[in-house]
Structure 1
Amino acid sequence: MRSGRSLSGLSIILVSAIALLCDEVEAAESARPSRPNIILFLVDDMGWSDCGAYGSTYYETPNIDAFAKKAMRFTDAYAQPLCSPTRGCILTGKHAARHGITSATGHISPQGAGFEILPAAAPPNQRMRTPASKNYLDPEEYTLAEALRDAGYRTAHVGKWHLGLIRPHWPERQGFEVAFHCHPDPGPPGFYFSPYGVHPSGAPSQGRRVGTITDGPKGEYIVDRLADEAIRFIETDSEKPFFLNLWSYGVHGPWGHKEEYTKGFASKVDPSGRQQNPIMASMLRSVDECFGKVLTAVERRGLSGNTIIVFNSDNGGNVVSNTPADQGFQQRKATVPPLATWEQWAGKNPPTNNAPLREGKASLYEGGTRVPLMWSWPGKITSGTTNASVVGHIDLYPTLLALAGLDKPTSQAMDGISYANVLQGGGTLDRVAFFNYFPHFGGPGNAGGAWVRRGNRKLIRWFGAAPEERFELYDLSGDIGESKNLAASEPEEVRDLDAQLEQFLEDTGAVLPQPNPAYRPTPK
């Protein structure tokens, strides 16, 4: 009897000890900081100065500007000159020269086996044989979404994809568990307005969009709908952290806009005399509202303190489309409803103006590659600051992993580097130079080129140009508009930077344009 009482007493003590230990473990788990939620908000074709936070005195972007006051704003952030290459760089951490998507071809059928980047022939009116862009993100890439998913994140892609036309290359196959998208997708379905006309099955083609986008009420604006879908994902009950990849359709063509907003900008005058397109102002207002709704949803759920938010653009602002220099505009205007009233509202104005930067989208000058970039994580990222570190699209993957406390995957070779220490105020960026490669069109020779930036010196090498036009050297510290070419007066600097550029091209396996043996100049 005495033995039984003793055993019972020991059992009570043992159970109590286990319960106490469990309570301590649970308390330790709850005290341990969870991985941060991540929102990547990417605007399409938004130029470096297309919001108040970056100096616009015409566009009205109150939510973006308020966010900038709580964020770290980068002044020298870069992307590719076109969207598909940048998107591939973000998800892989690799330069476009390495992952192979070098032009905006993500809506075209993927190439088959044996695809040659450099075609064997070119038409006789083409001076150079230029490389072809890969039309899809290779499934063998271990994407940012896959890395976060495998680390326990819920993942969602909402909006434009432009990294593959057919199902094997859709976001669901690249690490996103939830996806709201359609194909082909250089621009939005329904010319921005519902009914969007997206089919849930079948093969996508030029006349048939296929994907997961569903119609909303008639006249619903797709940018507003993206906000609704993003909020639905944010508000999903789950113990897991989330990664939301919200890639806006705005402000890309065909420039569908809310006329009630556009009317409000029609009589507004830009004090700087730079930006004067009410359609673009209207579209940016809608993008700003979308961003604001997402921020509000995060706050409403009490997630602000543990959510990293990145605001970025995929390339520089468009300064050519729908202008007198755009030879296809009048033909497109007859078949694209939003363009019917372009001249009524915008006159001969381009979509935007990137001044003081030179040129814009599809250009290797600063106007085509320098983009807005802001980061926020309350208490972790130094807020209300401006940073001049040279960073870019390839760095988002390793930086987000570092901030989330995750190691870089050994299976994914990356060109990007983490600048988490810069964001958290703990140091400077360990980078010697930054590079860009765009071998398609533009510049002397019309075969694209590549550039290297080291410090404030930027060297552009044009492929296919005559020797005297091959290089352009700029000092961006005093010439952000790239108006004074220093190449002729600083040959040693040109040689030194070109050697670095050559090493980059070799390291990444960049395919360079080659002279076309069949070239026959057109008689003048």
Structure 2
Amino acid sequence: MMKNREFQLKNVCLGLFAALLIVDHNSHAVDRPNVLFILADDLGYHDLGVTGSDLHQTPHIDRLASESVAFTQAYNAPTCSPTRAALLSGKNPATLGIVGHGGIRRMDGGGEFLASEEYTLAEALRDAGYATCHIGKWHVGNKGTSGPAEQGFEEVIASNEFCCPGSFFFPFRDPNKSGRLAERSAVPDLEDRQPGDHLTSCLGEEAVKFLKRQKDADRPFFLNLWYYAVHTPIQAQKDKVEKYRELIDDGAHHTNPHYAGLVEHLDDSVGSVLQALEDNGLADKTLVIFYSDNGGEVRQGITSNHPLRSGKTSLYEGGIRVPLFIRWPGVTRAGAACAEPVVGHDLYPTLLSVTGAAGDPRQNREMDGRDLSGLLRDPSAKLASRSLHWLRYGETFHYPSYRTDPIFGPSAAIRKGDWKMVERYPTPAGLQRKFELYQLVQDPSESVNLAESNPGKLMELRNDLVSWQRKINIPTYESLAWPAFEKVEESE
């Protein structure tokens, strides 16, 4: 599907105009960096060796981190699709109307997460002259309407329409399922692989092929490598599972050998892609981002985000704080750390800044993200004061147990400075409204609720959160989510 042709032509012209301005200002052409954006799925903040895992071995990602600026307080949404929509649009998921794990303003699951009218990061870079390629997980819209090909990617490889693969092993489909679900979860484009091949390795191989094609290309590239790992199904090759089974220590926080093996598959694949940058003479010309879409899944013993509280789907730190490393050769300082709170929708305006892409004036005005390029140059710098906001009304389709779950149930959160407030929403099944207040520097585990002892700070954050909700004109929890929960109650 082509978007409005006049709209696209306008932005091509804007991109060319911006490039000419850069040339004129400096009296010579400025090399624009290639962009390699690696996104892991469900990788927790402490799932890497460099971030403190007591089991997982990740030498390749650890090395990348040592060569990058490491953002120690980086955030995303608590689940994958809202995060991905934010990354592509530069907007808070709630600004897009995404307050659950379903489509826009829906509470029953499924549907489009990212409206086709959004002028995406991929479209901005494509219209500025970048070759754009998406490999792997998408899960923000369906092919033909809001898939990667419709949202600015010239090449699309191994992208299904589901949250995860049917299997991580060839032929990458669930042998126990049939029909529509089996087809949606099957991963396409890899039919030439062999039994025993792992999907994570195959995605890396496809990325390597793309990079080889860029060696002598006359256009910079944007490679969006979004892995399915380490989302369920938790599947790793037997030798890796047995390796980690032998390495588990008594009292360790990470104790799942299958998950550890899957993390190693991810690390191996990332290593092969980074090596391909070197082998093809692209490393010094390429800005590399490594990120995770949300916190690690702690249910069913999959992983641990210790000492952060809780995990995926929760608005506690374990659900939304994630690893983020950015390497920009010639700009970032190896081994630097930045403690400034940042969030996924900051990357869109940042990449516009570092590539010289003009983007679209309206999209740029409506973005919630901030340009982080100043932090890449000076990690000790500060962004202008702001609050970070999250809304999660819950679901009746993906997570029906949230009606009664006091940890993972519907909630909102705000971080302002070093303070964070979590508002727990009520449900017809008996959950009560509750306010929690934490001082994150002193209490990163969110173990001491200061709401009663700091009523002034609690009121300040409550007012900020309400003001933001009114500003973005989002339906209230009571008008959108509560009726959906009541409907489930009545049907039982």
TM-score (norm 1): 0.79
Q: Would you say 1:304 and 2:283 are equivalent positions?
A: yes
Among candidates 225, 230, 238, match of residue 259 of structure 1: 238
Instruction: Give the equivalent residue in structure 2 for 1:375.
Output: 326
Counterpart of 1:433 (choices 359, 369, 387) is: 387
User: What is the CA-CA distance between 1:208 and the residue it aligns to?
Assistant: 1.9
CA gap of 1:408–1:182, structure 2 versus 1, over 3 A, is: closer
Residue 479 of structure 1 aligns to a residue in which SS? Answer: coil
Question: Residues 144-184 of structure 1: CA distance to partner in whole angstroms, max 9, x if unpaired?
Answer: 00000000000000001111234222100000000013433
CA shift in 2, pair 1:96/1:68, >3 Å: same
Does the 8 A contact of 1:77 with 1:391 survive in 2? yes
For residue 490 of structure 1, report the CA deviation from its aligned partner.
Answer: 1.0
Match of 2:155 in 1: 178
Q: SS where residue 361 of structure 2 aligns?
A: coil
Deviates more, 1:249-258 or 1:42-51: 249-258
Aligned to 2:374: 421
User: In the alignment, does 2:475 pair up with 1:511?
Assistant: yes
Instruction: Give the Cα separation in 1 of the matches to 2:123 and 2:345.
Output: 16
SS of equivalent residue, structure 2 residue 94: helix
Q: Tell me which moved more, 255-264 or 148-157.
A: 255-264
Alpha-carbon spacing, 1:408–1:519, altered in 2? closer, same or farther (3 Å): closer
Match of 1:18 in 2: none
Q: In the TM superposition, what whole-angstrom CA distance separates every residue of 1:341-361 from its partner, at most 9, and x where no partner exists?
A: xxxxxxxxx110110001100
**CA distance in structure 1 between the aligned counterparts of 2:160 and 2:280, rounded to whole angstroms:** 32
Aligned match of 2:464:
500
Contact residue 143 and residue 149 of structure 2 kept, 8 A: no
Assess if the C-alpha contact under 8 Å between 2:123 and 2:153 holds in 1.
yes
2: distance between equivalents of 1:68 and 1:518?
Answer: 47
Partner of 1:491 in structure 2?
455
- 2:34 is the alignment partner of 1:37: yes
1:449 aligns to 2:429 (yes or no): no
Aligned residues of 2:293 and 2:322 also touching (Cα < 8 A): yes
Q: Within 5 A, what are the aligned runs for 1:293-372? A: 293-320=272-299, 323=300, 350-372=301-323
2:46 to 49, 58, 70: 49
Does 1:101 find its partner at 2:63?
Answer: no
User: Could you say which residue in structure 2 is the equivalent of 1:195?
Assistant: 171
- Give the CA deviation at 1:513: 2.1
Give the Cα–Cα distance (whole angstroms) in 2 for the partners of residues 355 and 136 of structure 1: 31
In the alignment, the residues of structure 2 paired with residue 152 and residue 162 of structure 1 have an alpha-carbon distance, to the nearest angstrom, of 26
C-alpha contact 1:142 1:411 (8 A) present in aligned 2: no
Quick one: which of 134, 145, 152 aligns to 1:168?
145
Answer yes or no: is the 8 Å Cα contact 2:111–2:141 preserved in 1: no
- Where do residues 200-215 of structure 1 align in structure 2 (5 Å cutoff)? 205-209=180-184, 212-215=188-191
* Structure 1 CA distance for aligned equivalents of residues 376 and 406 of structure 2: 39
Shift in CA distance, 387/416, structure 1 to aligned 2, threshold 3 Å: same
What is the deviation of 1:505?
1.1
- Summarize the Cα distance change of 1:518–1:38 in structure 2 as closer, same or farther, 3 Å threshold: closer
CA contact (8 A) 1:152 1:240 kept: yes
CA spacing shift, 1:365–1:34, aligned 2, 3 Å? same
Whole-angstrom CA distance in 1 between matches of 2:148 and 2:27: 33
Query: What SS does the corresponding residue of 2:197 show, helix, strand or coil?
Result: coil
Q: Deviations over 1:191-226 (max 9, x none)?
A: 11112369xxxxx92132477423212221110110
Structure 1, 456-465 or 33-42: larger mean CA deviation = 456-465
The answer to whether the 8 Å contact 1:88/1:137 transfers is: yes
Residues 179 and 212, structure 1, Cα contact 8 Å, conserved in 2 = no
Aligned partner of 2:219 in structure 1 is: 240
Aligned 8 A contact 1:131 1:511 in 2? no
Q: Secondary structure at the match of 2:36?
A: strand
Q: Distance in 1 between matches of 2:108 and 2:407?
A: 14
Gaps of at least 5 residues in structure 1 are 1-25, 112-116, 119-129, 199-203, 324-349
In 1, Cα distance between equivalents of 2:92 and 2:110: 13
What is the Cα deviation at residue 467 of structure 1? 11
Asked if structure 2 preserves the Cα contact closer than 8 Å seen for 1:463 and 1:512, the reply is: no
> Match for residue 70 of structure 1?
67
Match of 1:19 in 2: none
CA RMSD between the two structures: 2.7
Rounded to whole Å, the distance in 2 between the matches of 1:445 and 1:248 is 28
| Displacement of 1:132 | 6.6
Tell me the matched-pair count.
442
> TM-score scaled by structure 2?
0.84
Percent identity of paired positions between Structure 1 and Structure 2: 36
What CA distance in whole angstroms lies between the structure 2 residues aligned with 1:519 and 1:137? 26
Matched residue SS, 2:270: helix
SS of equivalent to 2:153: coil
Relative distance call for 1:285 and 1:495 in structure 2 (3 A) is same
Q: Distance in 2 between matches of 1:503 and 1:166?
A: 36
Instruction: Output the CA distance in 2 between the equivalents of 1:206 and 1:479.
Output: 43
| Structure 1 CA distance for aligned equivalents of residues 431 and 157 of structure 2 | 49
Which residue identity does 2:154 align to in structure 1? E
Instruction: Kindly state the Cα deviation for residue 520 of structure 1 after the two structures are TM-superposed.
Output: 10
**Aligned equivalents of 1:33, 1:306: Cα separation in 2:** 12
Q: Which residue of 2 aligns with 1:472?
A: 436
Mapped contact 1:317–1:352 kept (Cα < 8 A): yes
Q: Residues 135 and 271 of structure 1: is their aligned pair in 2 closer, same or farther, counting only changes over 3 Å?
A: same
Determine the structure 2 residue equivalent to 1:458.
420
* Greater shift in the superposed pair: 368-377 or 176-185: 176-185
SS in 2 for 1:504: helix
Q: Is the 8 A contact 2:294 2:321 kept in 1?
A: yes
Separation in 1, partners of 2:327, 2:287: 6
